[in-house]
C-alpha cells in the first residue's frame, strides 16, 4: 500500500493562487521532501488573502507549515526540516556542526543590499564578503558545502541564492562577480537538480514577490 502523503502548506504565487509561489523557506521544505522521495501533498496558500482554516493551523500566518504525525501543524523551515530528517533519515542530510552556518549571512546581507538606497552604506561590500567566504569554503570543501554529497545547508541556501540572482539583477542590474567561480559552479549544480527544477518558482513570480519590499 502506498504511504499516505505528508501535508505541507506553502506559498502560492503572487497574483496566481493556483501556482507554486516564491517563498524560499517553502521551497527548502519541498526540496527536502523531494530529495528524500517522501510523498507529499502541497496546499498552496495565498498569503495576500489567507483562508480562515490556514490561520487556525498557523496563527502567525506564515508558510511553510507541516502536518506532523500527531496531526499538529508546525511552522518554521528550520524546525520542519529537522522533523523530516528525524522521520526520514535516509538519505541523511545532516550537515556537520562545523559547516552548519556556512552561507547563513548571505540572505540577510542580500535583503539589506536590495533595500538599500545609499550606495555608500557598505551593504554591497557586506554581501560580497559573504559570497567570497562561501566561494573560499567551496574551493576548500566543495562542490557542496559538505563535500561530495548534498546536505541540509545546501537545501537551505539553494532557494535563497536563486532569489538573490534573479532579484538583484532585475532591481539593481547587479550580478555575482564572475571570479567567484566556485559559487557559480555551486549554483549551477543546485539549480540543475531534478528536485530544484520541480520546486522552483517562475522568475516573474520571484520578482513580483519582492517588488513591494524593494519599493517600500
Ligand atoms: N523563519 C520562517 C520564515 C517564513 C516566512 O517568512 N514566510 C513568509 C513567506 S516567504 C510568509 O509566510 N509571509 C506571509 C506573512 O508573513 O504574512 C521559516 O524559516 O519558515
77 shares its domain with 101: no
Determine, yes or no, domain membership for 92: no
62 shares its domain with 83: yes
Secondary structure (3-state) at 92: coil
Answer yes or no: 23 catalytic: yes
Per residue in 177-193, pLDDT tens? Answer: 999 999 999 999 999 99
Structure-block grid coordinates of residue 127:
554581501
Confidence at residue 59, expressed as pLDDT on a 0 to 100 scale: 93
Confidence at residue 191, expressed as pLDDT on a 0 to 100 scale: 98
Per residue in 125-180, pLDDT tens? Answer: 999 999 999 999 999 999 999 999 999 999 999 999 999 999 999 999 999 999 99
Determine, yes or no, domain membership for 105: yes
- Structural domain for 51, as ranges: 6-87
Q: What DSSP letter does each residue of 7-69 carry, written as one string? A: EEEEEEETTEEEEE---HHHHHHHHHHHHTT--EEEEEE-TTS--HHHHHH-TT--S-EEE-T
Q: How would you label 155-188 residue by residue, b for 16+ Cβ within 10 Å and e otherwise?
A: bbbbbbbbbbbbbbebbeebebeeebebbbebbe
Determine, yes or no, domain membership for 34: yes
Per residue in 22-48, pLDDT tens? Answer: 999 999 999 999 999 999 999 999 999
Res. 215 pLDDT band, cuts 50 70 90: confident
Minimal-distance CA residue to ligand 1 atom 12? 62
104 shares its domain with 206: yes
Secondary structure (3-state) at 190: helix
110 shares its domain with 209: yes
Confidence at residue 117, expressed as pLDDT on a 0 to 100 scale: 92
Confidence at residue 14, expressed as pLDDT on a 0 to 100 scale: 83
Res. 60 pLDDT band, cuts 50 70 90: very high
Task: Label residue 51 exposed, middle or buried (CB < 10 Å: 0-12, 13-18, 19+).
Answer: exposed
108 shares its domain with 196: yes
Give the residue from 64, 87, 110 where a domain finishes: 87
Determine, yes or no, domain membership for 1: no
120 shares its domain with 195: yes
**CATH (domain of 13):** 3.40.30.10
Confidence at residue 173, expressed as pLDDT on a 0 to 100 scale: 97
59 shares its domain with 104: no
21 shares its domain with 122: no
**For the chain, how far is it from start to end, CA to CA, in angstroms?**
51
Q: Is the pLDDT of residue 1 over 60?
A: no
Per residue in 82-115, pLDDT tens? Answer: 999 999 999 999 999 999 999 999 999 999 999 9
Read off the pLDDT of each residue in 44-64 and give the average, rounded to a whole number. Answer: 95
Give the residue from 87, 121, 141 where a domain finishes: 87
105 shares its domain with 70: no
Q: Is residue 202 in contact with ligand 1, taking CB distance under 6 Å? A: no
Confidence at residue 69, expressed as pLDDT on a 0 to 100 scale: 87
Confidence at residue 193, expressed as pLDDT on a 0 to 100 scale: 98
**CATH (domain of 124):** 1.20.1050.10
Confidence at residue 3, expressed as pLDDT on a 0 to 100 scale: 76
Structure-block grid coordinates of residue 139:
574551493
Residues 6+ apart with CB under 8 A from 212: none
With the most atoms of ligand 1 within 8 angstroms of its CB, the residue from 9, 25, 213 to mutate is 25
Give the residue from 32, 56, 87 where a domain finishes: 87
Domain total in the chain? 2
Beta bridge partners of 41: 7
Note if the pTM is more than 0.85: yes
State the catalytic residue, choosing from 23, 102, 166, 176.
23
Secondary structure (3-state) at 103: coil
129 shares its domain with 150: yes
Minimal-distance CA residue to ligand 1 atom 1? 76
Report the DSSP pairing between strands 40-45 and 16-20. Answer: unpaired
153 shares its domain with 183: yes
Confidence at residue 142, expressed as pLDDT on a 0 to 100 scale: 96
Determine, yes or no, domain membership for 32: yes
Amino acid at each position: 500500500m502506498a504511504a499516505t502523503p505528508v501535508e505541507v502548506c506553502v506559498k502560492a504565487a503572487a497574483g496566481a493562487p493556483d501556482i507554486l509561489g516564491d517563498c524560499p523557506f517553502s521551497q527548502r521544505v519541498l526540496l527536502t521532501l523531494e530529495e528524500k522521495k517522501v510523498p507529499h501533498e502541497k496546499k498552496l496558500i495565498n498569503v495576500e488573502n489567507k483562508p480562515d482554516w490556514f490561520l487556525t493551523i498557523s496563527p502567525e500566518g506564515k508558510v511553510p507549515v507541516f502536518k506532523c504525525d500527531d496531526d499538529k501543524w508546525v511552522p518554521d523551515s528550520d524546525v520542519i526540516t529537522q522533523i523530516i530528517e528525524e522521520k526520514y533519515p535516509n538519505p541523511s542530510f545532516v550537515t556537520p556542526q562545523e559547516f552548519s552556518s556556512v552561507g547563513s549571512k548571505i540572505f540577510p546581507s542580500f535583503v539589506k543590499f536590495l533595500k538599500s538606497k545609499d550606495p555608500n552604506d557598505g551593504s554591497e561590500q557586506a554581501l560580497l564578503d559573504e559570497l567570497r567566504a562561501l566561494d573560499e569554503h567551496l574551493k576548500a570543501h566543495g562542490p557542496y558545502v559538505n563535500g561530495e554529497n548534498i546536505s541540509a545547508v545546501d537545501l537551505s541556501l539553494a532557494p535563497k541564492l536563486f532569489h538573490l540572482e534573479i532579484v538583484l539583477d532585475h532591481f539593481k542590474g547587479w550580478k555575482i562577480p564572475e571570479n567567484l567561480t566556485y559559487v557559480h559552479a555551486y549554483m549551477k549544480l543546485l539549480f540543475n537538480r531534478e528536485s530544484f527544477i520541480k520546486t522552483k518558482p517562475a522568475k516573474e513570480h520571484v520578482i513580483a514577490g519582492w517588488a513591494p519590499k524593494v519599493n517600500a
